Amino acid sequence: MSINNYILKSDQIFCANQQDVINGYIIIHDNRIHAIEKGFIPSSLENQYKVYDLSGKTILPGFFDAHTFFTGWSLRYIGIDLSNAKTKKDVIKVLKTCYSHQDHIFGHGISDNFNTPSPEELEGLFPNCRIVLFSTSGEHFWLNTTAINHYGFDLTADCNEVFWKLLDEILKDKNFIKPLFKKYMAMLNARGITSVKEIGFDKFSGFQNILSELESEEELNLRVHFMSQPVGANANFEYAKKMMANYNSDFIRFSGFNRMTDGSISQGNGLLKQPYENQNYKCKLDINWELIQDEVLEADKIGTRFSLNAQGDGAVEKAVNIFNLCKKDNNGKLVNRHAITEAEFSDPVDLKRMAELGIICEYYPQIQSITSYDDKVGMIKKQIGLERGKNYWNRRKMKDYGVPLCCGTDLPLVIDHIPESIYYSATGLFPEGDIPFNQANCLTTYEVLESWTSGGAYDFYREDDLGSITAGKLADFAVIDGDILHTNPKDCRSLDVYMTIVNGKIVYQK
């Protein structure tokens, strides 16, 4: 990268290192922070450096997203663009112009409002050719029976994991996937994201080789910490050892394993400590906790970490019990930085245990953006009752007990918008405003921003070189186009990212 020495100046510099927010300036030399000073820039320095006057804006460390799926996002762009199709018949017409002797037709951009044809109907039109089309939102798709038989999922699929065979094929198409990842990086940079924990299924289909190419070509504008999620096979520890040995640069690192445990409480798949309201079951899923425990302990043994996605209070308890079996230091803290993702509904007893063990919580601060008050609170009332529902999204207890916190999005479930995350996580409001939910469980603006910055750096094992505006650390910054720290959280959605800097290089400017 071509790096210049320069100064960033602002009356709001959020250092994320337990210092007060300062009015001053930051000196960047090459790709590192040279100094942070309060007050005015001396004229002698103004003559030596290019100065970016960001007065009225907030300078922060670059943001970390601890849970992203580039793979899932890529499905919105596969194959031919069908966004101009006005009707279902238009889609079929376009497909017929493409159909000859190829073995598959992929497509994206079909309207979410179109009626989905049956697999049999599509098979009749395009026999023995794998038809896979995704809607604009990525939530709906068309398949024929050939595709169902080949890829192993049908129209009931509701999570990225079931697409693993399709994704394996897509990720190996270098001419498609490499330019798309550049687009993905640009999208995240425009939102202030400078580091991600990217989830790859099994061996990530060799996508780490594409990352290495981009790094060697000096085109990697995002620090990628990739994890292996066992889907097609159990956790591969030989692969993990190889990745741990080979990927330790400033831009690409292996970050252990990720695994789902329970599922959605709305569907009765979240594991509860006590039965669902007016039901005799605690979870509809049959979860192989023995396998999960064995994999976690083996990962811990070889010196890497596990993130377990747990939504119900019963699943959170079991995840804590498993992590409690892992190696600990003299203070009783886990040696390896294991994490629980979501912890949507949790028992404060287990949150206290998480704090005692040092288990990280990777929470989703924008999760309320995909629903409404009536829908979500209605679901909670129906499934677990409002009394138990008081422990939904209990980030306040996590913070007060001392659970290390960081933020994730489960992208493409939601796309990063840090000011918007404050609206949800600091107010308890839903998109429509009106009524807050569990406001006592909310965090402050400052705490949410800590989760996106220093909290993320800790989760990524990068606190020594990233996550705070500290002399000597790498120069990753996000700049918000207003005073986010003193804006009423209810009004934060109007703010946006103005500038993003990665490794000293301006990669986005509004």
Instruction: Indicate if 276 and 362 belong to the same structural domain.
Output: yes
pLDDT above 50 (res 460): yes
> What per-residue confidence (pLDDT) applies to 365?
99
101 within a domain of the structure (yes/no): yes
> What per-residue confidence (pLDDT) applies to 400?
99
Q: Quote the mean pLDDT of the chain.
A: 96
Of the chain, the percentage scoring pLDDT greater than 70 comes to 99
Nearest alpha carbon to residue 409 among 341, 459, 461, 476: 341
Rounded average pLDDT over 44-60? 96
Instruction: Indicate if 390 and 351 belong to the same structural domain.
Output: yes
464 within a domain of the structure (yes/no): no
CATH number for position 281 = 3.20.20.140
164 within a domain of the structure (yes/no): no
> What per-residue confidence (pLDDT) applies to 139?
86
Per-residue model confidence as pLDDT tens digits over 378-392: 999 999 999 999 999
- Cα atoms in the 13 Å half-sphere on the side-chain side of 118: 3
Domain enclosing residue 423, as ranges: 173-459
Instruction: Indicate if 438 and 344 belong to the same structural domain.
Output: yes
Q: How far apart are CA 204 and CA 167, in angstroms?
A: 9
Helix (H, G, I), strand (E, B) or coil at 24: strand
CATH number for position 19 = 2.30.40.10
Instruction: Indicate if 214 and 260 belong to the same structural domain.
Output: yes
Helix (H, G, I), strand (E, B) or coil at 255: strand
**Under a CB-based contact definition with an 8 Å cutoff, are residues 364 and 414 in contact?**
yes
Instruction: Indicate if 338 and 391 belong to the same structural domain.
Output: yes
| Phi, then psi, of 350 in degrees rounded to 5 | -75, -30
Instruction: Indicate if 196 and 262 belong to the same structural domain.
Output: yes
> What per-residue confidence (pLDDT) applies to 462?
99
Assigned token pair, 249: 């640069």
| Phi, then psi, of 199 in degrees rounded to 5 | -90, 120
> What per-residue confidence (pLDDT) applies to 158?
82
In order, the DSSP letters of 376-432 are HHHHHHHHTHHHHGGGBT-HHHHHHHT--EEE---BTSS---HHHHHHHHHH--BTT
213 within a domain of the structure (yes/no): yes
Question: How many H helices and E strands in the chain?
Answer: 18, 20
Give the end of a domain, one of 108, 133, 159. 159
Instruction: Indicate if 221 and 310 belong to the same structural domain.
Output: yes
Instruction: Indicate if 296 and 444 belong to the same structural domain.
Output: yes
Instruction: Indicate if 49 and 186 belong to the same structural domain.
Output: no
Rounded average pLDDT over 289-315? 99
> What per-residue confidence (pLDDT) applies to 100?
77
pLDDT above 60 (res 286): yes
Instruction: Indicate if 149 and 210 belong to the same structural domain.
Output: no
Assigned token pair, 469: 């505006």
Instruction: Indicate if 289 and 184 belong to the same structural domain.
Output: yes
pLDDT above 70 (res 2): no
Q: Work out how many domains the chain is built from and give that number.
A: 3
pLDDT above 80 (res 425): yes
465 within a domain of the structure (yes/no): no
Give the end of a domain, one of 459, 480, 498. 459
> What per-residue confidence (pLDDT) applies to 3?
54
> What per-residue confidence (pLDDT) applies to 408?
98
> What per-residue confidence (pLDDT) applies to 1?
35
165 within a domain of the structure (yes/no): no
**Under a CB-based contact definition with an 8 Å cutoff, are residues 36 and 59 in contact?**
no
Rounded average pLDDT over 222-243? 98
CATH number for position 155 = 3.10.310
Per-residue model confidence as pLDDT tens digits over 88-119: 999 999 999 888 778 999 999 999 999 999 99
Q: How far apart are CA 294 and CA 458, in angstroms?
A: 25
pLDDT above 50 (res 489): yes
pTM: 0.96
Q: How far apart are CA 468 and CA 476, in angstroms?
A: 9
Instruction: Indicate if 257 and 338 belong to the same structural domain.
Output: yes
Give the end of a domain, one of 159, 181, 206. 159
